Structure 1
Amino acid sequence: MSSTALVLVLAAAACHAAWNIVAHGVSRIGMPFLWWGAVASTVVWLPAVPLTGGLGGASVAEFALAAAVSAVLHCAYMLVLQRGYATGRLSTVYAVARGTGPTITVLVAVTQLGERPSPTALVGIAAIIVAVVAMGLIDRPGGADAAGTRTPGERARRRLDPGIGWGLLTGVAIAAYTVWDAHAVREWAVAPVAFMVGCTVGEIVLFSAGLGGRWRELGEVARNHWGRIAAFGVLSPLAYILVLAAITMAPVALVAPLREISVVLVSVFGALVLREGRAGARIAASAVVVAGIVLMTA
């Protein structure tokens, strides 16, 4: 992997961690916030399309199909992710999702796209995947169980954080849009910025259809959370634009796991700011992530 691709992916990881922290803070709002996020993303990034290669080498038909399918996949991803954040812990949902997604993506990239990472890179990929999944399992809920205040049935139901299940579903969505989007930018030569804007326009349409009777909430959400909406509008597309650009320079099987350095950032935030606990275990898992990155880029 070139140094340019590495810098792009690491910058994407930082942006991704930041917008997920923002999304976690408003996860219970749901659809109205996601609608505003799509609108903000479109408004912020649309002016950049003519300055970043327009539609790229894709035909109008290819661009429209690529953006439409991506919009559906990204909407599913956002909805499942927000549901997970509303019911589970930030670090649990995020780590499991980001570990599951690359696992599926790498399998598809190797078996379907013909990519062949080196043996050392594969060891690094495996280390990162194991570490990020472990982070998700670190934060299983205890507390009241340890004190014996729950019934045996309640303890059985709460043995694992519900965020793990939502994280797994989110990971499937991540793998789906990663493989499709990689195909669009590499095979059809769709320009990353235009592609992301086309996707957010599609999200506006889909989220509008899903708002139903919640249209009246949009004004209140905008007034109370305009700062978070603006941050989301900048950071969420930027994170993925950087990844799409990196995919044009390096194999998907390397880019997808490497971006999971964001798990370390989110875990640190969860431990220090949200007080989600077990900081030592998080740091150990983070060290494995770093070791995996070293192996991948050696």
Structure 2
Amino acid sequence: MTPLVVTAVLTAALTHATWNAIAHRIEDKLVAFTLISGGATVLGAVIACFVPLPLAAAWPYLLVSALLHVGYMVLLMRSFTLGDFGQMYPIARGTAPLVVTVVAVALVGESMDAWQTAGVVVTSTGLVGLALWGIRDARATPRWPALLAALATGVSIAAYTVVDGVGVRNAGSSLSYIAWLLILEGILIPAYALYARRGRLLPQLRPHAARGLLGAALSTLAYGLVLWAQTRAPLGPVSALRESSILVGAVIGAVFFKERFGTPRIVAAGLMVVGIGLMLHAS
């Protein structure tokens, strides 16, 4: 976890929280994710024109990851429909880092030293604490369907993080991997929207086009930086650091959606800073 990798992942966290807030802001979630997925597909196609094809070993991971990403998008849409941004986003993101760490060590054969492990645990404690505090807020406790959707979203995040972490290392180029992942995953939701809305889709997209396409660009940048970082550092620490986007999401929720930001979130921020310091110590 060199300073360059940390900077890349923190930038990804900022851009990721921002595109999620854009998606939440658009009331019609199918319209929001159609614009974001469709725009990302176009960006992926442009990038693919300037990079070589991924190596053959990466294609199975690309196909599995594309399906996992579509499932993640569907679950995220459901979460944002059922619950508040300031609660759904932390719960969805906060469940992933520890799952990624355990799976990466158990199945991918990664090893982490004591500093990295402590950093992941401390960072994840801050993330989970932030999520649980949101749940216990009696004024805005989510319904069980919303909570389950957010938890399922977190599991899907962990799944595609591990698949992509292995796949991008077999692709020969992180840019070629992200380009084809965007192409493969991005066509399904717009295709479904065209079928479901038929002649009504384009008029529904038009008022939100600028924001949706901005979200697509931010989404592409965010995950491209994460994939690059996964070729330079272990999956667990990258996943934990990436989820600092939860704090950015909490700030966005407080400023733009008028949700509460108090002492628990400040404590969570402190734990995350300590966790990042421990991961940097390992480098």
Percent of aligned pairs with the same amino acid: 33
The aligned counterpart of 1:9 is 9
Q: State the Cα deviation string for residues 85-123 of structure 1 (Å, max 9, x = none).
A: 111111211111111111211100111112121112211
The aligned counterpart of 1:291 is 274
Structure 1 segment 274-289 matched on structure 2, within 5 A = 274-289=257-272
Structure 1 segment 178-189 matched on structure 2, within 5 A = 178-186=161-169, 188-189=170-171
The aligned counterpart of 2:82 is 87
Among 180, 184, 192, the alignment partner of 1:210 is 192
The answer to whether the 8 A contact 2:251-2:261 is kept is no
Q: Distance in 1 between matches of 2:199 and 2:273?
A: 46
The aligned counterpart of 2:218 is 235
The aligned counterpart of 1:37 is 36
Q: State the Cα deviation string for residues 191-239 of structure 1 (Å, max 9, x = none).
A: 3333223223223442245333313332123211011111122011111
| Counterpart amino acid of residue 87 in structure 1 | L
The aligned counterpart of 2:159 is 176
Distance 1:196 1:251, change over 3 A: same
Q: State the Cα deviation string for residues 133-152 of structure 1 (Å, max 9, x = none).
A: 111122234239xxxxxxxx
Q: State the Cα deviation string for residues 61-85 of structure 1 (Å, max 9, x = none).
A: x454333222111010011011101
Distance 1:159 1:231, change over 3 A: closer
Distance 1:174 1:190, change over 3 A: farther
> If you compute each CA radius of gyration, which structure gives the higher value, 1 or 2?
1
**Unaligned stretches of 5+ in structure 2?**
none
Q: State the Cα deviation string for residues 234-286 of structure 1 (Å, max 9, x = none).
A: 01111111011011111112111111111111111112332221422211111
Alpha-carbon offset, residue 17 of structure 1 = 1.1
The aligned counterpart of 2:234 is 251
**Given the two structures, how large is their TM-score scaled by the length of structure 1?**
0.86
Name the stretch that deviates more: 275-284 or 195-204: 195-204
| Counterpart amino acid of residue 111 in structure 1 | A
The aligned counterpart of 2:116 is 121
Name the stretch that deviates more: 196-205 or 259-268: 196-205
Q: Distance in 2 between matches of 1:209 and 1:48?
A: 21
**Unaligned stretches of 5+ in structure 1?**
145-157
Q: CA RMSD in A?
A: 2.1
The aligned counterpart of 1:197 is 179
Q: Distance in 1 between matches of 2:213 and 2:63?
A: 24
Alpha-carbon offset, residue 43 of structure 1 = 1.8
| Counterpart amino acid of residue 257 in structure 2 | L
Distance 1:19 1:159, change over 3 A: closer
Q: Secondary structure at the match of 2:111?
A: coil
The aligned counterpart of 1:142 is 138
The aligned counterpart of 2:252 is 269
The answer to whether the 8 A contact 2:168-2:174 is kept is yes
Alpha-carbon offset, residue 161 of structure 1 = 6.7
Alpha-carbon offset, residue 37 of structure 1 = 1.8
| Counterpart amino acid of residue 290 in structure 1 | V
The aligned counterpart of 1:148 is none
Q: Secondary structure at the match of 1:21?
A: helix
Among 71, 78, 91, the alignment partner of 1:76 is 71
